[in-house]
Amino acid sequence: MDKQKLIINGGRKIEGELSLHGAKNAALPILAATVLIKDGESVIHNCPRLTDVDAALRILSHIGVKCRRSGSTVISDACAIGNCEIPVRLMREMRSSIVFLGSVLGRTGHCRMSYPGGCELGPRPIDLHLSALRSMGAVIEETHGFLDCSAPKGLNGTEISLSFPSVGATENIMLAAVTANGVTVVDGAAKEPEITDLAGFLTACGAQISGAGTDRIVIRGKEKLCGAEHSVMPDRIAAVTYMCCAAVTGGELILSSADIGHIGAVVPVFKEMGCRVYSFGKDSIYIKAPERLKAPHTIRTMPYPYFPTDAQAPLMAVCTVADGTAVFVENIFDNRYRHVSELLRMGAKIKTEGRVAVVQGVRRLSAAELVSPDLRGGAALVIAALCAEGTSTIGGISHIDRGYEAIEKSLYSVGADIRRI
């Protein structure tokens, strides 16, 4: 049971400089990819200390990968894998655990796992994952909540057309294809930077991949991959979250170890709200907020390079205190407004109907006792609490810890009155 809470005294401006940690959504598939390395160690730098990453490391250890961490670096040795079954208790810890299907099947020819757990954001069907692997020669039986997978004749390259640019399905195909026989072509592939980062690690290990970051990826299978060093990309959703913290408090923030190119669809929204945002140097983002924000026009979540669904909840929290009315249209997940009921407790004016949320800005929010409903919804509550009058308590912060490395320490370092109890 999650007994920890965040205590936030609102009204402090977020000001200063903050360094981003590595991206959760890049680190997890890269860690899964280390399963494929038969020769040498994999050295993964900038690997964030998150509970989802810890869960991935437990899965790796369970199947026989030797892992050790030194600071933000994880070293893994997968030369002698002895287990191809991932138990229910580990699969339930995070949604992204399904990405181990492609790597374990590609390495051992067998894999048994249950359906994954994680945030309850509505159905995230894995049909695309399974149909793609079946087209590559996998035999998959779904019984009693388990997936029993094998490749009796090995995995073979083929042409795969995705009906939706699923990040997870694209990653699973890449992981299965890099050691498969022949050439795999993925049309309709996801284009997220995390896909490019995964391809970068696999390429460093000797894989032959072209087109990552476009909707057509070509993978030429190789018999063996060797260990390599790789640094995980900065977390673009964490970047947006901390920019929201600065914006909602009228603050001024520099994010180092950040790439403004990864959040190209979000930057115009901040500017529309009256913030100054620009990059300087090779890896820094600057944001300065006005005393009062203006509500942006309609925000529609879409696959990359458009506005990310993971940024919807944090931006909605900002819009609750912006002048005017903002409209959100959630096109990715069915159940991604679970944070709204908690924001309403703070005095926000939000109406939802289906995929649409209409946010009418109020002058100020009031502190409240809150419970984090999921990862990004929890971040939204932190953002709202930073600008609210009084002291807010946020429970259920195990959700937040899945994607933010010691969020209270980061925010305290740039002026927030926040502590964990």
Query: Does 290 carry a binding-site annotation?
Result: no
Give the C-alpha separation, 55 to 91, whole Å: 9
Rounded CA Rg of the chain: 21
Does residue 259 form part of some domain? yes
The answer to whether residues 200 and 288 belong to one domain is no
The answer to whether residues 11 and 139 belong to one domain is no
Does residue 104 form part of some domain? yes
Query: Does 24 carry a binding-site annotation?
Result: yes
The answer to whether residues 363 and 279 belong to one domain is yes
Q: Which residues pair with 43 in a beta bridge?
A: 75, 229
Q: Is 119 a catalytic residue?
A: yes
The answer to whether residues 97 and 182 belong to one domain is yes
Residue 118 confidence (pLDDT): 45
The answer to whether residues 35 and 139 belong to one domain is yes
The answer to whether residues 219 and 242 belong to one domain is no
Query: Does 198 carry a binding-site annotation?
Result: no
Does residue 307 form part of some domain? yes
- The residue written with tokens 């009315």 in the block is 325
Query: Does 112 carry a binding-site annotation?
Result: no
Does residue 1 form part of some domain? no
- Confidence class for position 110, pLDDT limits 50, 70, 90: very high
Does residue 132 form part of some domain? yes
Does residue 251 form part of some domain? yes
Query: Does 89 carry a binding-site annotation?
Result: no
% of the chain residues with pLDDT over 70: 97
The pLDDT tens digits of the residues spanning 120-152 come to 434 446 889 999 999 999 999 988 888 999 999
Does residue 285 form part of some domain? yes
The answer to whether residues 119 and 259 belong to one domain is no
Does residue 188 form part of some domain? yes
Residue 144 confidence (pLDDT): 82
Q: Which of 187, 82, 169 is nearest to 126 (CA)?
A: 169
The pLDDT tens digits of the residues spanning 223-280 come to 999 999 999 999 999 999 999 999 999 999 999 999 999 999 999 999 999 999 999 8
132 close to 164: Cβ distance less than 8 angstroms: no
Q: Which residues pair with 394 in a beta bridge?
A: 6, 370
Taking residues 301-310, report their average pLDDT: 97
* Residue 347 structural domain: 6-20+234-420
Give the C-alpha separation, 67 to 73, whole Å: 10
Residue 146 confidence (pLDDT): 87
140 close to 96: Cβ distance less than 8 angstroms: no
The answer to whether residues 269 and 407 belong to one domain is yes
Residue 1 confidence (pLDDT): 52
Taking residues 2-28, report their average pLDDT: 96
Residue 227 confidence (pLDDT): 97
Query: Does 25 carry a binding-site annotation?
Result: yes
Residues 6+ apart with CB under 8 A from 32: 56, 99, 100, 102, 103, 171, 175
Instruction: Pick the catalytic residue from 47, 111, 119, 205.
Output: 119
The answer to whether residues 195 and 330 belong to one domain is no
Question: Which one of 231, 254, 281 terminates a domain?
Answer: 231
Query: Does 215 carry a binding-site annotation?
Result: no
Question: Which one of 231, 262, 285 terminates a domain?
Answer: 231
Query: Does 126 carry a binding-site annotation?
Result: yes
- Confidence class for position 335, pLDDT limits 50, 70, 90: confident
106 close to 36: Cβ distance less than 8 angstroms: yes
Question: Phi first, then psi: what are they for 370, rounded to 5°?
Answer: -125, 160
Query: Does 363 carry a binding-site annotation?
Result: no
Give the C-alpha separation, 20 to 202, whole Å: 23
Residue 44 has pLDDT above 80, yes or no: yes
Question: Which one of 206, 231, 256 terminates a domain?
Answer: 231
The answer to whether residues 49 and 12 belong to one domain is no
CATH code of the domain covering residue 282: 3.65.10.10
Give the C-alpha separation, 248 to 32, whole Å: 37
Domain tally, the chain = 2
The answer to whether residues 239 and 300 belong to one domain is yes
How open is the CA angle 321-323-328, to the nearest 5 degrees?
Answer: 75
Residue 400 has pLDDT above 80, yes or no: yes
Taking residues 163-173, report their average pLDDT: 96
The answer to whether residues 141 and 163 belong to one domain is yes
25 is written with which tokens? 């959504």
Residue 10 confidence (pLDDT): 98
